[in-house]
Structure 1
Amino acid sequence: MSETTGGGFIRRMFANDIPTDLAEGRVLELAEIYALDAVSDDERAMIDDYIKDAPEGPEFLERVRQARETLAVSFAPEEEPPAALFDNIMDRITKDAVAQTVAEPAAPAAAAPAVDDLAAARAKREERQRTGGARRWIVGAAAAAVIALGGIGVGAYVSAQNDPVNQVLQAQDVQKQSAAVPGGGTATISASSAKDSFVVLMDGVAPAPDGKVYQLWTLPKDGSAPVPQGTMDAQTLSKPAVVKGLSSASSVAITVEPTGGSTAPTTAPVLVVALNA
């Protein structure tokens, strides 16, 4: 899961592997998946070794304790019926069967199948409780953990890995470069050849004038016309933008265009950054 501050700085983004998360100081965000045993033995050993001397160690262990406590109190086992209920039912069936035998001598054996069927049903119920109990506990506990812990856990971890922005920013081959934007602020380009994409993040850049927006363009390697890649207004200016097609682009350009964008640049670029694809 990622969170963008007012200055465009992205924090609490999970990496694609535990060692990177540890190296980048995200050990506390791993507490819930550690508590859920959603890590391998090797990953658990890495985390254990890290928190031995880490200043976050006590807080990490406290979060693990709280997560496990949440699981314990969230699980409500299936309630058993009163102990005497089955015997009372059997006694009632037997009495009814005896009464029916007296009233209808031709059908004295009718009670036996009913007793046998009820016993078989009870045996099936007990078997379902034995085999299904563990599964219910695991599924229920995992769901309770993700919900009760405010979305921090396995669900958030998987979601972060599947986010297109994170996939580029956390790629092993990502290359970042920043350039000053006229008027103040910077544009940071994070490119990954493996993902054939790059991310543009504007930091401290003032919105375009009224009635205008910034528009992204890729300049193809073959020298053909610039390709429009979306606009950035005041609301989206500080949010990261993902652009596909890194392998076919030589540069990324930013122009100021009328609200809604243009099909071709109408002004000179305020910024052009070469892409190392």
Structure 2
Amino acid sequence: MSTAELHTLTGAYALHALPEDERREFERHLADCEACAQEVRELSATAARLGLAVAEAPPRELRERVLREITTVRQEAPPSHGRPGRTGGGGRTGRWSVYALAACIAAAAAFGGVAVWQNQVAQDARQEADRAQRQNQQLAQVLSAPDARTSSGELTGGARGTVVVSEQENRAVFLASGMAPPPSGKVYQIWFNDEGTMRSAGLMNPSASEDAVLLDGPVDRATGMGITVEPAGGSAEPTSDPVALMDFPTA
């Protein structure tokens, strides 16, 4: 295997996807190639975070509200020792039965609402986990693609970025380390550089100094990427000067 071919195996090696003979050959190459060693360290750190799922806890105020309302429901009185059947509308037992029935209905409605809410939360979490899993699978496919090419460079503020591009997958992944958090209410937005025209490629996690982003959309004619600081939620087009510009690696 040629040295040029060995340079393309960093993603597959980080994901333990190389056959045994290629792994041994690549590790011999790795001992003498600092550029590949750096890429393997960055890709391995990213791969370690790919299996994370999303979960949400019920809000504290919902539980407290239900418990508070339950304490306001009056308990049903003991049964009357008077004559059987004396439960007229003006009697004590009749009034307490109404309160008890109302309490049961309120409790059933409250806990029924909790159950519906919890079920919705569970469904949302499953959908988010499924979406994250699909994205992670696509990200891994790009990193381990046989034609994956990588390019690394220093970013603003001493951060480091690596972009991995696969023509076969028509996708790109951006890996960042040491990124300073964006200003409050802002987010880093990534853009494809389509021969001078910027096309949105997704948002970075504003709370992570290290991030792996599967760029949103196909690479197509893009020759590079840029990063700008945008309002939370992103922008339709760049509104600030780029904090980073990187060319995509070429064959």
TM-score by length of 2: 0.46
TM-score, scaled to structure 1: 0.42
Rg bigger for which structure? 1
